[in-house]
Amino acid sequence: MARVAFLGLGVMGYPMAGHLVKAGHEVTVWNRTGTKSEAWAKEYDGQAAETPAEAASGAEYILLCLGDDPDVLAVFDAFEASIATGAVIVDHTTASAGLARSLYARSDEKGAAFVDAPISGGQAGAENGQLTIMCGGDAAAFTKAEPIMQAYGKRMTLIGDSGAGQLAKSVNQICIAGIVQGLAEGMHFADEAGLDVAKVIEAISGGAAQSWQMENRWETMRDGHYEHGFAVDWMRKDLRIALDTARENGASLPVTAMVDQHYADIQAMGGQRWDTSSLLARMGRKPS
């Protein structure tokens, strides 16, 4: 059993922290909205802290699952003085590699370890304890953090040095953006050609066109249901990080840049909280 602080109880963090309790760990949580921390503590028989510093005090592991770089930085600033020597800090937020490297250095100065560990698998993956976790940092820190992450992760991979996990998450989002756009265009083409979309998907899903998005999202897309996963606002944040990094390293991401602008169109339609499959809404398949 380990003493764990979990900071950030959004749609991902709330069940992830719960899995830690189920795995036998002693968990103290903090959330910006205190009523959510209290609700979690009541549901899982854990502890709720009023501040990040209080949650982190004495913790062997400090886990973060927040929104964006400014959120991570503000929370880290708030608990930095409470970091115990030998603690392992694991950031599950999708943030920039530059921030990860900065916090790695600051953690090292405190005699602690830092692992950037963005997650993939969506709300369902968090609830089912089946997340994929891409990690950056020292091998020793990853080895210490891995048994903790196993409470909610099905696959944990150390990609490389600090920041590598965040860069790998950008690769993940780049690939998803292109796949969803292709699926949306294909379904739109089938509609305009007068084809039975269900029969088309049945025909092509066993071949090279098959993808997780096709298997899990084509029906909800066809029906105009866009409440099944990762929100457009968050996807645009992730694509912004990828595109900013590409400008720094010289990578060419023309499809990603185009899809990012298509998601901007979705936001303008009022779809900020629709899931990422809502690209089809641009082509007439509005929410039902």
Domain parsing of the chain, residue ranges: 3-161, 167-283
36, 144, 169, 199: the catalytic one is: 169
What pLDDT sits at residue 285? Answer: 75
Residue 5 near residue 56, CB atoms below 8 Å: yes
Long-range Cβ contacts of 167-173 (<8 Å, 24+ apart) = 167/97, 167/136, 167/245, 168/118, 168/134, 168/136, 169/94, 169/118, 169/120, 169/134, 169/238, 170/238, 170/241, 170/242, 170/245, 172/120, 172/134, 173/94, 173/235, 173/238, 173/239, 173/242
78: closest CA among 11, 31, 142? Answer: 31
Alpha carbons 164 and 170: distance in angstroms, whole number:
10
pLDDT for 173 equals: 98
What is the structure's pLDDT at 228? 80
Q: Give the pLDDT confidence of 230-258 residue by residue, as tens digits.
A: 899 999 999 999 999 999 999 999 999 99
Closest C-alpha among 168, 173, 134, 167 to residue 255: 173
Look at residue 229 in the predicted model and tell me its pLDDT: 73
Q: Residue type for 42, please? A: K
Global confidence as pTM: 0.94
Q: Which of 238, 240, 242 is nearest to 230 (CA)?
A: 238
Question: 119 Cβ partners below 8 Å, 6+ apart?
Answer: 12, 65, 92, 94, 125, 126, 131, 132, 133, 134, 153
CATH of span 167-283 = 1.10.1040.10
DSSP 181-247: HHHHHHHHHHHHTT--HHHHHHHHTTTTT--HHHHHHHHHHHTT---SSSBHHHHHHHHHHHHHHHH
Per-residue pLDDT of the chain (288 residues; tens, 9 = 90+): 999 999 999 999 999 999 999 999 999 999 999 999 999 999 999 999 999 999 999 999 999 999 999 999 999 999 999 999 999 999 999 999 999 999 999 999 999 999 999 999 988 899 999 999 999 999 999 999 999 999 999 999 999 999 999 999 999 999 999 999 999 999 999 999 999 999 999 999 999 999 999 999 999 999 999 998 789 999 999 999 999 999 999 999 999 999 999 999 999 999 999 999 999 999 987 786
What's the first-to-final CA gap in the chain, in angstroms? 47
Domain 3-161 has CATH 3.40.50.720: yes
Q: Is 169 a catalytic residue?
A: yes
Q: What is the pLDDT of residue 50?
A: 97
Q: What are phi and psi of 207, to 5 degrees?
A: -115, -155
Residue environment code for 207-232, b if the CB has 16+ CB neighbours within 10 A, otherwise e: eeeebebbeebbebbbeebbebbbbb
